[in-house]
Amino acid sequence: MITRVASWPTTPSVLLGVFVLGYSVLPVAAQPRAAVDYEFHDSHFHLTNYIQEGTDIHEFLALMGDTVGRVALFGIPLQQTWSYENSGDFAPTYYLQTDAPLYYYSFTDAYIASVYQSLTAAEQTRFEPMITGFNPADMYAADHIRRVLKTFPGVFTGIGEFSIHKEFVSSKIAGDTASLTDPALDRIFDFCAETGLLVLLHNDIDMPFARQGAEPVYLAQTKSLLRRHPNTTVIWAHVGLGRVVRPVQPSASASATERPASQVEIVTAMLEDPTLSHVYFDISWDEVAKYIVATPESLRRTAAVLNRYPERFLFGSDEVAPHDREQYLKVYRMYEPLWALLTPEARENVKKGNFERLFGAASVKVRAWEASNVPPRR
């Protein structure tokens, strides 16, 4: 089993001091180095893209540098088909570049585990690998997650990012369409409650190009799913937004009694709902950031919610296989006007504290489950 340990100096004199004095009284030379004061942790990062290519993990560590402390690490659970009949010699690398279908690519979990295991123990402490290579419309999906934990004990902390309703993606996936009401999804959430696995869920709050002023079509089903699983810790990615799923805005012509809630009001109501206290939100993705920083008013309203509920939001980049540091830090830099409006407590929690608390608790629970359910290797 792989365990995450601090990086200690290992000179002969230090090792002798450890054995002679014990761990409670270490010589000065054996004390751990002062922790780096990282700017943020990243709760949402894809190492690979839709054709399973990406950034070398060691090169990515260099991109993180002393700016990014810890990263939730996963690939893309879907593979884009290269259909010669559809695109000829053009090899698509993104789902919008072809009409050919997507399919679930389970090997992504083994790949993420292998690159994580290639790191030193100290380097491993900077990553929280996540399981993504399962089909949420398959009743066997929970069994896949269990199998991954047993095959790679000591590696994974959560599941996701995985998608249920996602604009143009959902309709391109071969096989059954994922649904918030599918018992297969309930089996997944139940298993995550059993093991302590953290859930990072992408589910658009509404359909693409929804009519302004209409009730978001997936909101009721989403809340119903979350309420069915009060013991499963869930991060709702992108605050429910999508590439073409914009923040919910009431119709200007609607009366006060007919007017549906806005996106901010919807999220605030969920934050105030005691039956949803296990639900958190990430503000990852440049598509989300562009709405938040669009105007002084959008910034003010967003900052007000984060300042009021500083323990319920996490920052994430949602970058996919970045090729340089500028690309990787783009979303974080986009949020500079937002960081300036947050209280010190909110800024610390959204950037780092909530990541440390949620992923730390999940890691302890998952390792305990593995200790009871994974036979020792001979």
Could you report the per-residue pLDDT of 62-77, keeping only the tens digit for each? 999 999 999 999 999 9
For residue 259, report the phi and psi dihedrals to the nearest 5 degrees: -70, 120
Tell me the C-alpha distance between 215 and 249, whole Å: 10
Section 6-20 average pLDDT: 35
Please tell me the pTM assigned to this model. 0.88
Short-list 147, 143, 141, CA closest to 163: 141
So what's the pLDDT on residue 352? 98
Q: Summarize pLDDT for 145-185 with one digit per residue, the tens.
A: 999 999 999 999 999 999 999 988 988 998 889 999 999 99
Residue 92 parent element (H or E):
none
The Cα 14–Cα 114 span in angstroms is 31
> Other C-beta atoms within 10 Å of 173: how many?
20
**pLDDT tens for residues 272-307?**
999 999 999 999 999 999 999 999 999 999 999 999
* Per-residue model confidence (pLDDT) at position 21: 32
**Using an 8 Å Cβ cutoff, are 121 and 138 in contact?**
no
* pLDDT > 70: percent of the chain: 88
DSSP letter for each residue of 156-198:
--EEEEEESS-HHHHTTBSSSPP-TT-HHHHHHHHHHHHHT-E
Higher pLDDT, 35 or 328: 328
More confidently predicted of 28 and 272: 272
Cis peptide upstream of residue 59 (ω within 30 degrees of 0): no
The answer on pLDDT for 216 being more than 50 is yes
Question: Contact 186/229 with Cβ under 8 angstroms?
Answer: yes
How does residue 4 score in pLDDT terms, banded at 50, 70 and 90?
very low
pLDDT at 250 over 90: no
Instruction: Give residue-wise pLDDT tens across range 319-342.
Output: 999 999 999 999 999 999 999 999
pLDDT at 251: 58
pLDDT at site 255: 53
- How distant, in Å, are the alpha carbons of 24, 285, 293 from that of 280? 38, 16, 21
Buried b (16+ CB within 10 A) or exposed e, 263-296: bbebbbebbeeeebeebbbbbbbebbbeebbeee
**Torsion angle of alpha carbons 317, 160, 130, 266, nearest 10°?**
60
- Within its chain, how far is the Cα of 75 from the centroid? 11
How far apart, in whole angstroms, are the C-alpha atoms of residue 173 and residue 189? 21
Average pLDDT of span 2-30: 36
Residues 216-241 have a mean pLDDT of 97
Maximum pairwise Cα distance, the chain? 78
Is the pLDDT higher at 244 or at 235? 235
299: helix, strand or coil: helix
pLDDT (0 to 100) of residue 29: 41
- What average pLDDT is seen over the chain? 89
- Cβ burial, residue 253 (10 Å; 0-12/13-18/19+): exposed
Instruction: Give strand pairing partners of 12.
Output: none
Alpha helices in 229-295 (DSSP H): 263-272, 286-292
Does the pLDDT at position 357 exceed 60? yes
**pLDDT beyond 60 at 12:** no
Residues above pLDDT 90, as percent of the chain: 78
C-alpha–C-alpha distance, residues 59 and 183, integer Å: 40
> What pLDDT shows up at residue 209?
77
pLDDT bin (cut points 50, 70, 90) of residue 308 is: very high
Beta-bridge partner residues of 78: 104
Query: What is the Cα–Cα distance from 48 to 73, expressed in whole angstroms?
Result: 10
pLDDT at 252: 58
Token pair 């990541």: residue: 355
More confident residue, 7 or 222: 222
- Average pLDDT of the residues in 21-31: 37
- Is 50 exceeded by the pLDDT of residue 20? no
pLDDT of residue 258: 56
What letter would DSSP give residue 378? -
